[in-house]
Structure 1
Amino acid sequence: MFSLSKFLLGGSTIASSGGIASYLVPYTSVSGETFFFRSQEGVDFQLEKLEQLLGETKQRLSEWKTKFNKSKEAAEASKDQEFTTSLDLFEKIAVNEASLTSLYETIKSKIETLKSKSEELKQQVEQKLKLESDLALVKTSLDYGNQLNRLLSTWESSMSKVIAEFQTNQSSSESSSSGGGDNRRSKGSRNINFS
């Protein structure tokens, strides 16, 4: 069972063959001899033309075969060259990728080390600031203590003067009271002696 494409192909082949025949038949009949025969009777078959045509065809086929082989070799060489180039490129990419991976790991390790050092430095700075704050607090406390000590010394000196003055006044008062004691006792016992 023929398909539509086979049917159309057969019809076009028949039509083209008929077209060529309709072109060549009048030409050969007018020229007086056919392509393969020297005379209309067809007594002598022209083998020379067939041999010449066969030789030309073989030569053309040989040339085409040579060109085809050269093209095939060039294509294979180009294919091999492209494959080799692509393989070298992929190998270089793999090597570069390994180098980049190693460099990334090294940089990552350095960053982790720097991060750890930064934390240590931060703790040291915080401790130093705390010590400086504590030192400033101690210094301020010492200043306040010195001021308080000076105030206490001044207060002690003042109190010593007051006590000395009080004792001096008390001694004077006792001296004067011992001389006029009989008169006061005669008048009554309203005055009290604090000695």
Structure 2
Amino acid sequence: MFTGIVQGIAVVEEVTAATGLCTFAIRLPDDSAEGVSIGASVAINGTCLTVTKQTGNTLLFDAMQETLRLTTLGDLEPGHAVNFERAARIGDEIGGHLLSGHIHTTAKVVEILRPENNVTIWFDVPGEWARYIFPKGYIAINGASLTIGEVEGSRFNVHLIPETLRATTFGKIAEGMKVNIEIDSQTQTIVDTLARLGYDRPTTAL
């Protein structure tokens, strides 16, 4: 499990493609890989991956075709920056909300507004996932636990403070980019339960 509190920015050093999977060599900041063991879980842009090898601060991960299809990991190249979070331990403070690291879908950045001292980013998700997105609800974007601002059909926005921009890759985000989305599990359970009872929510704005 993860908390959605990004622990820093890592850098992709190498991407090796093989039949059915890709291997990523990702360098974490100094001391951030201390105590990592083979088999440990680390969220890379919100995607839970398993450490297969460690060389200093560089960790290796394998991602299967299904993971590459459902996430943005297939677009990663050497030099790209990614958000990372090591798995939470019992007793850790939950500063965001509980995440599984299982990506539901991707969203596209459609607009970036830069009022003084903050940034507002608008995203567009596939229509079938809009049913789970509510104003003031939780969502994880590239592994960061964020609060949803406004919702308009399949579009929604989040408001980011300077610290979030500094500590994550959102500081370099641009229109047209794709991001990984993990829907809040409690919200998904409630919406799906109501749908089974006949209280379905429209997936698009009227």
Q: Which has the larger radius of gyration?
A: 1
TM-score, normalised to structure 2, is: 0.17
User: Using CA pairs below 8 Å that are at least 6 residues apart, which structure has the higher relative contact order?
Assistant: 2
TM-score, normalised to structure 1, is: 0.18
